[in-house]
Amino acid sequence: MKQTHRSFILALTVLALSFPSVHAQGDSAEHTRKGIELGKEKKYAEAAAEFSLAIKADPQDTKHYLNRGKALKAAGKLDEAEKDFSKVIEMKPDVADGFSERGKVKVAQKNFDGAIEDLSKAIEMNEEEIDNYRYRAFAYISKEDFEKAIEDYSKVIEDKANDPQALERRGFAYRNLKQYDKAIEDFTKLIKVSPKDAEAYRRRGYAYSQSGENEKALEDYRKVLELKPGDQDATNRIKSVEGRKPGTAGKSSPAPGQTPPSHSAPAPSPR
């Protein structure tokens, strides 16, 4: 799961900035325009400064706080971003945006219980925003609540059948519940989407080995070596599987990526 967690972290830097929701007052529209341009250039601290000026010019528009919060989040200033999203919630407690964005920040802060609470509120208000399910699933899987993670990743996959991240993580959750057939099914779909992903073969190989399908496990581990020549883990797993009696399921080898992803520097959308 290490690589997947990395992709989740990188996704946090994606900004979806907005223009003010009401008629701009003073210079707020110009500061917003500049902030959005700076955000596109990944100059997040400078973008946040422009959104601060937009707030000063028009403090009643929550879009300015949302924009600054997103820029601060992308800049790695998570505590400051959380304050802006909390301000949005204070101003508009019946709108999903503040809860959604604050929940995503809490995922990055590893406050998974808080993230689940906020994202659940956002989902209650707007069931159509799929990213909220994605982030909440990540929080659930990080808490090793695999059944709930599967429910949320299934919602993501329902929206996008070939979503590689959701397939990989749902397969990970199924595997941890020892539902190897379902894990194999998800990893197989993942391989069709990403045929050069060595880790997908490694994960499916492990699921095959645990379900006693040793020949298929060997095929997948050999594919890992084809994609990553000299991979010591795959070499060791091949030796382990070859040493078993035909048809026996393996219990000794550690699962690849057993520990849920560490998001030391998370940033947004686990894509």
Are the beta carbons of 149 and 141 closer than 8 angstroms?
yes
pLDDT at 177: 98
Q: What is the pLDDT of residue 3?
A: 39
- Mean pLDDT, the chain, rounded, equals 87
CATH of domain 161-260: 1.25.40.10
Q: pLDDT tens, 93-103? A: 999 999 999 99
Do 141 and 151 contact (CB within 8 A), yes or no? Answer: no
Amino acid, single-letter form, for residue 246 = P
Global pTM? 0.84
Residue 88 has pLDDT above 50, yes or no: yes
| Residue 54 zone, left/alpha/beta (φ > 0; ψ -120 to 50; rest) | alpha
CA pair distance 102, 89, nearest whole angstrom: 9
What does the DSSP assignment read for 243-268? TSPTTPPP-SSPPTT-SPPP-SS--S
